[in-house]
Structure 1
Amino acid sequence: MNFSSKNPFLNNKTFSTAVSKKDQVHPATIIDYNDEMTLSGTINRSLILFLLLTASATVIWWMTFNGMNPMAPAIGGAVMGLVLVLIAAFKPHYSPYLAPGYALFEGLFIGGISALFEAKYPGIVIQAVGATFVTFMVCLILYKYKIVKVTEQFKSVVVAATLAIATYYLISWVFSMFSSFTPVHYGNSLMSIGISIFVIVIAALNLFLDFDRIEKGAEQKMPKYMEWYSAMGLMITLVWLYIEFLRLLSKMNSRN
């Protein structure tokens, strides 16, 4: 099986399609190499998205602690962010426009959720941000120096585990909506904490897959819009990782 990344933005089909379209250019066509995906360009796009998300989250954070209920903007941001993700998954060439929008809407969600957690557990947000940043840097260093190698077997295991988590979350949500069933990952039991730790590990491993696909995309000189597409995909993984750290820390704090 040829897996590359569970992240829907960094899958083989999208990247191979982008490459195949580029390969169809007539030999007589003048190629502007400024229109090719680069590693530095993807890094710059990722920083832009991070700043947009942070700015949006900061606004909601400030409004929340000034008396506004953050639930409406948080839910609206999550829904709109998902819509933009789905559009970009099928129309990656629109990513230069969709990615900034995703960052702004996702910032509403992150800001609202973070404010709620912070109100209940003071100091938890800075801990989750720090844990996410450290995890990202450790994974980046391990990948850069080839300490962790992204083999096909590695990809298969990570993708399978991520699919299992997504399926479990979906089934648990459906059952809890229509019955009195309480998923085992709810609450602050040791098992629930263990599940959160496992999910964080899988989310972190997805970063290696994302780094690998971004690097290969730059090597294959994909179209410039793939920088935005790749940056958007990386942001999705980081948001997932941050939310899972928030959940884990809240469980641990509630035991004290």
Structure 2
Amino acid sequence: MNLKSNNPFLKNKSFSKPAETTVFDEQGRPVQIIDYNETMTVNGAINKSFILLAMLIGSAAYTWWMGVNGQNPMPLAIVGAILAFVMVLIASFKPKYSPYLAPAYALFEGLFIGAISAVFAENYYSEIIIQAVAGTFVTFIVCLALYRFKIVKVTEQFKSIVVASTLAIVTYYLVSWVISLFTSWQPVHYDNSLMSIGISIFVIVIAALNLFLDFDMIETGAKRRLPKYMEWFGAIGLMVTLVWLYLEILRLLAKLSSRD
């Protein structure tokens, strides 16, 4: 069974289509020619991921500034989160528009991240943001190095375990959220108990493992010589995982801090 990354971008069928141009031979028969100058590369996807990251940080700085200066950034953050989700949804169905959707996603997501970060910094301690960013960056670099030097190999069994675990987490979060809306029950991962901390650590590990699947799918896309715009498509997918990882690390640090 060929299970792919749980990331909706990297599951798109466009990852199986090479960049081809149709021409005709002397007999008028169609011939497929691949333009290697306009195809996806691993370095291109990684570079575009860093571009998106820079844009996200720049956007986040604005709502962060609002938060630390006594303004309420949450309305803007909610709008940003909704629009970022819309960009994700459109890109998953129309990857050709990824060069335009990717920057928009980064800017809108940044509004949400900046506001949430300001809230955590105000409710806990200011250094929590730097620690969460550092933890995310170090995790990304370590996972990239482990994948690059083939220390961790993405096998079919590896994919199966990571995808199944990710789906279990998503299901648990969704069900817990729905139940909490209609009852007074509070999910265990909301508090700072040892079990809640353990859940956060588990989720962080799974989020980090998703990076390997994302790297693998980007590399596969490059080997298949997919169109150049798929670099932006893959970059959005990688950013989705990094944002998830950052938020989970932030929550874990908040739980640990509240136990002091």
DSSP-derived class of the 2:5 partner: coil
1:219 aligns with 2:223: yes
103-112 or 24-33, which deviates more = 24-33
The answer for the alignment partner of 1:250 in structure 2 is 254
Distance 1:143 1:39 in 2: 13
The answer for the alignment partner of 1:194 in structure 2 is 198
The answer for the alignment partner of 1:59 in structure 2 is 62
1:8 aligns with 2:12: no
Q: 1:113 aligns with which of 100, 106, 116?
A: 116
Listed one character per residue, the Cα deviations across residues 122-148 of structure 1 (whole Å, up to 9, x for unaligned) are 210000001111111111111111111
Q: Which runs of 5+ in 2 are unaligned?
A: 24-29
What is the aligned-residue identity percentage? Answer: 67
Q: 1:239 aligns with which of 243, 248, 253?
A: 243
TM-score w.r.t. the length of structure 1 is 0.95
DSSP-derived class of the 1:161 partner: helix
Moved over 3 A (4+): 22-32
Q: 1:36 aligns with which of 28, 31, 39?
A: 39
The answer for the alignment partner of 2:160 in structure 1 is 156
> Structure 1 residue 73: deviation in Å?
1.3
> Structure 1 residue 33: deviation in Å?
2.6
> Structure 1 residue 185: deviation in Å?
0.8
> Structure 1 residue 13: deviation in Å?
2.7
Distance 1:249 1:120 in 2: 12
The answer for the alignment partner of 1:73 in structure 2 is 76
Distance 2:199 2:68 in 1: 31
Distance 2:153 2:82 in 1: 35
Distance 1:42 1:124 in 2: 30
- Whether the aligned pair in 1 keeps the contact of 2:4 and 2:11 (CA below 8 Å) is yes
The aligned amino acid for 2:142 is: V
Query: Against the structure 1 CA distance between its residues 88 and 220, is the aligned structure 2 distance closer, same or farther, given a 3 Å change threshold?
Result: same
Query: Against the structure 1 CA distance between its residues 30 and 3, is the aligned structure 2 distance closer, same or farther, given a 3 Å change threshold?
Result: closer
Q: 1:25 aligns with which of 22, 26, 49?
A: 22
Correspondence 1:133-144 to 2 at 5 A: 133-144=137-148
The answer for the alignment partner of 1:102 in structure 2 is 105
The answer for the alignment partner of 2:94 in structure 1 is 91
Distance 1:234 1:166 in 2: 18
Distance 2:251 2:62 in 1: 22
1:124 aligns with 2:128: yes
- RMSD value over aligned CA atoms? 1.4
- Whether the aligned pair in 1 keeps the contact of 2:56 and 2:107 (CA below 8 Å) is yes
Listed one character per residue, the Cα deviations across residues 2-24 of structure 1 (whole Å, up to 9, x for unaligned) are 112000111163312x33xx457
Distance 1:170 1:30 in 2: 46
> Structure 1 residue 34: deviation in Å?
2.4
190-199 or 56-65, which deviates more = 56-65
TM-score w.r.t. the length of structure 2 is 0.94
> Structure 1 residue 226: deviation in Å?
0.3
- Whether the aligned pair in 2 keeps the contact of 1:4 and 1:12 (CA below 8 Å) is no
The aligned amino acid for 2:133 is: V
The aligned amino acid for 1:147 is: I
Distance 1:24 1:182 in 2: 56
The answer for the alignment partner of 2:27 in structure 1 is none
> Structure 1 residue 89: deviation in Å?
0.6
Q: Which protein shows a greater Rg? A: 2
Distance 1:175 1:89 in 2: 29
Number of residue pairs aligned between Structure 1 and Structure 2: 253
Distance 1:23 1:100 in 2: 26
